[in-house]
Chains A and B, each alone.
Chain A
Amino acid sequence: MRQFLRVAWVVMRKDLTVEMRSREIVYTTVFFAASCVLVFAFALVREGRPLEDASAGILWISIAFAGTLGLGRTFERERHTETLRALMLAPSDRPAIYVGKLLGILVLMAIVEAVLVPLIGLLFHAPIFARPHWLVALLAAGTLGFASVGTLFAAMLVRARSRDVLLPVLLYPITIPVIIAGVRGTAAIFQATPDEPMARFWAALLVFFDVVFVTLSLWTFEPLMTE
């Protein structure tokens, strides 16, 4: 177990070091996510009044779009240098590589969300400080569910010629339950009177999805990557 965690940590640290040097993924995903929110703000905010209940949906759509972009770029880097093969040769359980890549993507998505949430609060008057712990819990659980499947698919498609098209085509249908749960849970705490039991229900559902998706990804990563 210690070796598994060590390898995951080393891979995540490497990914973040590479990203700190290039800042390519952070800049592009943050810019893309902010652009999404701005476009929705122009479309849905009239005379300073946003469409009711739109903020939660726009937050999660922006997270999903930006996350897809980040996932694709992370593995494009490994494909360009063929370093994924070197990772696969490491004398550790291959799922440790998956966990390392997943942790790196989670950190990048957390940075994007740290920009997105205040922007949504500002442009859509969303009460982001009404129940901050529930908002953080929903974002954490939803991001993990989305990124766990996304990391697996991005790794699987790394050699596919049309990977940029295939990734969202495969990813969105499977992660729709996560996005719906995220939207409904976030909408519950963005209401004028936050509905905590409803937020708890959707958060619990997200944790359930996380357990299923992470378990399946750990189980299938090695056979999928060996061929």
Chain B
Amino acid sequence: MGFDFDRLVVDDVSRHFGRRRALSRVSLTCGAGTILGLLGPNGAGKSTLLAILSTLLAPTSGRVRYGEHDARAAGPMLRGRLGLLGHDLYLYPELTARENLEFFARLYGLDRPRDRVDGALANAGLADRAGDAVSGFSRGMRQRLALERALLHGPRLLLLDEPFTGLDDASGRALVNRLRGLRDEGAIVIAATHDLDLAEGLLDEVAILREGRLLAVPRAAGPLRERYREAIVEAGAAAAREGRAR
């Protein structure tokens, strides 16, 4: 394994789309063996931040460092250590579950792709549907398969956008256990989610975004949902005060 890193640093990152500011001066740090939850209402900038972290989008200003490296310099080697499960699942519906995974295994140049794919299909609970086209799968089955696609190459940084979408209770709990396992193996997991119940007890750190800005997370102990609500309400009140002052 040539390229690796044990720390992700987001330093003063902003991203504008024309006049719209999707992210504004976001800074955070995340070490190996950590699950960071990205919380926030719709349009807060969570997916934009994940796209920047995955190197698919360049920040307008600021920089992201993966250990000692930055995205532009590390290029393909860095991408080999990233796994992304987007809101869209990046699967080819015309191909079977096995063909999808084998395609990505070969794209990543993995050794023994068939063995890896067999393991991934077993992890997804889809070994008996390996030969079926993905177009016939339910959303939950696709979600499980897409997670295995993102994990196939053993990424150091795993980026998840709404990973619990479409999963039933058992699959949701299985995913929670899987993410804990990855954390124990030293992965950096960043998950954007609205499912605060499943995220409760899973997340080591929480970052809350609202209108592209990172909010202060209340330090007081208490359920995640309450701390989240408190942060959002406080940010709303601060924005109203700022508006009146102008």
Chain A residues within CB distance 8 Å of chain B: 3, 6-7, 10-11, 14, 17-18, 21-22, 81-83, 85-93, 226-227
Contacts and interface: CB of A to CB of B under 8 A. Distances in A.
Contact of A91 (B92, B106, B109, B133): B109
Contact of A14 (B77, B86, B103): B103
B166 to A, nearest CB: 16
Given A82-B88, A85-B56, A93 B94 contact: no
Contact of A21 (B84, B90, B95, B109): B95
Given A6-B109, A11-B107, A85-B88, 4 more contacts: A7-B109, A85-B86, A89-B55, A93-B76
Contacts of A17: 94-95, 99
A10 B46 CA distance: 32
A91 B90 contact: no
Given A10-B107, A91-B109, A21 B56 contact: no
B108 A90 contact: yes
A87 B94 contact: no
Interface in B59-106: 76-80, 82, 84, 86, 88-95, 99, 103-104, 106
B92 A14 contact: yes
Contacts of A83: 90-92
A10 B109 CA distance: 10
A69 B234 CA distance: 53
B57 A227 contact: yes
A12 B145 CA distance: 23
B58 interface: yes
B interface secondary structure, majority: loop
A118 B197 CA distance: 65
Interface of B: 54-58, 76-80, 82, 84, 86, 88-95, 99, 103-104, 106-109, 133, 149, 153
B95 A86 contact: no
Contacts, number: 74
Nearest to B93: A81
Contacts of A21: 94-95, 133
Nearest to A223: B58
A18 B109 CA distance: 21
A18 B92 CA distance: 8
Given A17-B99, A82-B86, A226-B58, A90 B91 contact: no
B106 A10 contact: yes
B87 to A, nearest CB: 8
Nearest to A24: B94
Contact of B94 (A3, A18, A82, A89): A18
B103 A89 contact: no
Nearest to A9: B106
B95 A85 contact: no
A74 B55 CA distance: 24
Contacts of A82: 86, 88-90
B165 to A, nearest CB: 14
Contact of A81 (B88, B99, B108): B88
B107 A7 contact: yes
Contacts of B149: 86
Nearest to B104: A86
B94 A91 contact: no
Contacts of A22: 94
12 contacts: A6-B106, A17-B95, A81-B91, A81-B92, A85-B56, A85-B84, A85-B86, A86-B84, A86-B104, A89-B84, A90-B76, A91-B78
B93 A91 contact: no
B83 to A, nearest CB: 9
9 tightest A-B CB contacts, nearest first: A91-B80, A82-B88, A86-B90, A21-B94, A91-B79, A91-B76, A10-B106, A18-B94, A90-B107
A22 B77 CA distance: 34
B56 A89 contact: yes
A49 B58 CA distance: 60
B148 to A, nearest CB: 13
B113 to A, nearest CB: 10
A132 to B, nearest CB: 35
A226 B52 CA distance: 10
B73 to A, nearest CB: 14
A87 B95 contact: no
Contacts of B79: 89-91
